[in-house]
Amino acid sequence: METHSAPNSLDKNFFISIEQQETTPPRSPSSSSSRSASCSPLFGRKVEMRKYGYSARKNNDQRRNAIEHAVLEHGINPVKEHLTKISKYDEKFKKDLEELQLYGDEIEYIRNTNIAELIDNETKKIQNSFLQAHSLVTEYRKSMATYGLSSKVIEKKLKRVCKEAMKE
């Protein structure tokens, strides 16, 4: 009476082939032929000018507005690199690149100023909310002291109220 060890080896190979199928997703036949310029390695995904409405079909003002929006979001260097890459496809792109080299520093200054203003505004909001919280705490302490509670009891109640407020 012979025992066969073949099914064990088949089972192992079967499970290995299933694992390989799960780790490598199937490719669709149309995935390689339907690439757009924004996905190609030439352009990358850092700056997509179409996202801002940039196209050779647009007029000068619309293209300049799109460039300004891209510079405000990404900075001047990535936009210049992108325009350099696409400038060989259309004469309008070359003109836009030349214009960007003239006024790009101004846009970069505006971008940095806007970031600084945003930081200042957020800092002011945080300071105001801190002052409001501080005034609420002092009012709470005063109102609890009028009931004749000790400072330890007031602090315990204050901690509980703060924890409940943090949950909300």
Run means of pLDDT, 10 residues per run, the chain, 168 residues: 49 51 50 45 60 83 85 83 84 84 78 80 87 85 83 84 78
- Of the candidates 49, 123, 52, 130, the residue with the CA atom closest to the CA atom of residue 93: 49
- Structure confidence at residue 48 (pLDDT): 77
- Structure confidence at residue 38 (pLDDT): 44
Flag whether 132 is in a domain.
Answer: yes
Flag whether 136 is in a domain.
Answer: yes
Flag whether 125 is in a domain.
Answer: yes
CA angle centred on 106, ends 102 and 107, rounded to 5° = 105
Flag whether 29 is in a domain.
Answer: no
CA distances from 144 to 95, 107, 136, 150 (A): 71, 55, 12, 9
Flag whether 88 is in a domain.
Answer: yes
Domain count, the chain: 1
Domain that holds residue 90: 49-167
- Structure confidence at residue 46 (pLDDT): 61
- Structure confidence at residue 39 (pLDDT): 42
